[in-house]
Chain A
Amino acid sequence: MKAGSATDVADACDLRFGQVGIACVRVRRVDAAALCDELERRVRAAPQMFARAAVVLDLSHLLNLPDDGAVDALLEAVRSAGMLPVGLAYGTSETEALARRMGLPLIAKFRAAYEPAQSGPLAAEPAPRAEPAPAVQREPILSAPPPGSMQGALHHAGSVRSGQQVYARDRDLIVTGAVANGAEVIADGNIHIYGGLRGRAMAGAQGDGKARIFVSDFRAELVAIAGQYRVFEQIPRDLEGRSVQCWLEGDKLLIARL
């Protein structure tokens, strides 16, 4: 299996399930010097917490989006205060263009909630691509394909082991094998698992509410479609070990035997 390239890390810092702790700096006015002073004070007060902390710059509370030079100055202010800016918080399309110009990722907690499915491939682009400092270290995502149109499904033959992650970007994922406890399979399209699902499966990862999950032996820890998820502390008796499918109706995640 191949090691993930830089782009594959995108999903490792996706905040969809709140697994990543990144400090968010909400900028109230464009004053780099003041920002630096304030952050420096925070870092000094709680270095354990804030020194070299990954920081997302949130510009959404400014009346007008500052120009590139000003944003650069703000980022530099964060850096000189001893924190590490890693991206911009998700905002308007202007923020998106700015992030693109600056080569910074946009980071959002529940991307799907900000950008419903209709926005298509353009919305798929500004996902936090070249995240320089992912806060969680994961196994490299196995065999993520390059983005593109119509590519069929990604087929993963064999088991997905605990701690591994398989991501099918812009397409369906087929797993012929088991997904172990602590393993994660993610697809922007549907997910088909011809084996036991004991770990997590997340379909419609870019917000496609029509995506479905099909499992031939259901024992999942968690299933999610387009950010709507269900956690199974106890697997319902009538579903355990059965073939099931999961789909969204409105924002309700439904599961039924096949």
Chain B
Amino acid sequence: MTAEIIVVTSGKGGVGKTTTSASLATGLAMAGKKVAVIDFDVGLRNLDLIMGCERRVVYDFVNVVHGEATLKQALIKDKRHDNLFVLAASQTRDKDALTQEGVEKVLDGLSEDGFDYVVCDSPAGIEKGAHLAMYFADHAVVVVNPEVSSVRDSDRILGLLASKTRRAEKDESPVTQHLLLTRYNPARVAIGEMLSVKDVEEILGIEVVGVIPESENVLTASNNGIPVIVDATSQAGQAYSDTVARILGEERPLRFIDVPKKGFLQRVFGG
């Protein structure tokens, strides 16, 4: 039994990779899977903050890669889910502290420990850290915002996923690609300020696995160290739940992609 490795990547920074990693990992754990989420952004670690475990980091990913700590010592158990673990990045090192062998060793270790899923939160860019995060992946969640520069960077990443991963190098079946559209604002799409779901699908030539609406809840949740998926009342949380279900093979219609219709009173008094 080997763990399924999912990389969350984008090329461009600030599009919501870490938010997505945290919610995806939490969602998989809520579905009963044993999940580890690893922060590959060595030197600029954030995942621990979003997961709300920043004060419990003793050993990190780099320590394990270098054999200075065991996986058991470094994995931080989530406070809400017993089957969810965080492996934080090191803030004091840089990306060169990671090696391909070291990463492979950690991923193999997680497989042996009976993990079902390992979510790899990739740093921005296409350099070493991002390369290592995607190299061993079975699935990739490419996070994209509805704007042209993000779409182009995602296109680049999709190309790299098809050529610079272990699966590509060994001529195995390719990495399964999922496109996740985040920060989607239907109102701005309607007036032509943002690319639509259809535009993005057309430019990149693959279908979206989910659309996360732009929402204040995301920021609030992040600041409180709670993955937004835990907030079942928020649209973003529900959209992430749908996305996780789709990645697990369920069929669910897209929600929150149309401008909400205003009620009569709102139309009269302004909404």
Contacts and interface: CB of A to CB of B under 8 A. Distances in A.
Interface of A: 1, 3, 139-140, 142, 158-164, 177-178, 180-183, 198
Contacts of B49: none
For B152, B155, B156, the residue with the greatest tally of chain A CB atoms inside 10 Å of its CB is B155
A180 B162 contact: no
A159 B205 CA distance: 7
Contacts, number: 44
B205 A164 contact: no
B24 interface: no
Contacts of B158: 159, 161
Nearest to B155: A162
B152 A164 contact: no
Contact of B156 (A142, A158, A182, A198): A182
Interface in B14-40: none
25 contacts: A1-B163, A1-B168, A3-B169, A139-B163, A140-B163, A142-B163, A158-B205, A159-B205, A160-B159, A161-B155, A161-B156, A161-B158, A161-B160, A161-B162, A162-B152, A162-B153, A162-B156, A162-B159, A163-B156, A163-B160, A164-B163, A180-B152, A182-B155, A182-B156, A183-B159
A3 B163 contact: yes
A1 B155 CA distance: 16
A182 B154 CA distance: 12
Given A139-B159, A161-B158, A162-B159, A178 B205 contact: yes
Contacts of A183: 155, 159
A1 B162 CA distance: 7
Contacts of A142: 163
Interface string B144-159: 0000000011011011
Interface in B123-158: 152-153, 155-156, 158
- Interface of chain A: mostly helix, strand, loop or mixed: loop
Interface residues on B, range: 10 to 19
Interface string B186-230: 000000000000000001110000000000000000000000000
Closest 6 pairs between A and B when the two form their complex, measured CB to CB: A161-B159, A162-B155, A162-B156, A180-B155, A163-B156, A159-B205
A201 B270 CA distance: 51
Contacts of B153: 162
Contacts of B162: 1, 161
A38 B195 CA distance: 57
A180 B162 CA distance: 15
Given A1-B168, A181-B152, A182-B152, A163 B205 contact: no
A97 B91 CA distance: 57
Nearest to A160: B159
A160 to B, nearest CB: 8
A207 to B, nearest CB: 29
Contacts of B163: 1, 3, 139-140, 142, 164
Given A1-B163, A160-B159, A182-B155, 17 more contacts: A3-B163, A140-B163, A142-B163, A159-B158, A159-B205, A161-B159, A162-B153, A162-B155, A162-B159, A163-B156, A163-B159, A180-B203, A180-B204, A181-B155, A182-B152, A183-B159, A198-B203
A94 to B, nearest CB: 41
Nearest to A181: B152
A181 B153 CA distance: 10
Contacts of A162: 152-153, 155-156, 159
Nearest to B153: A162
B176 to A, nearest CB: 15
A44 B110 CA distance: 53
B146 to A, nearest CB: 16
B140 to A, nearest CB: 13
Nearest to A219: B203
A160 B156 CA distance: 10
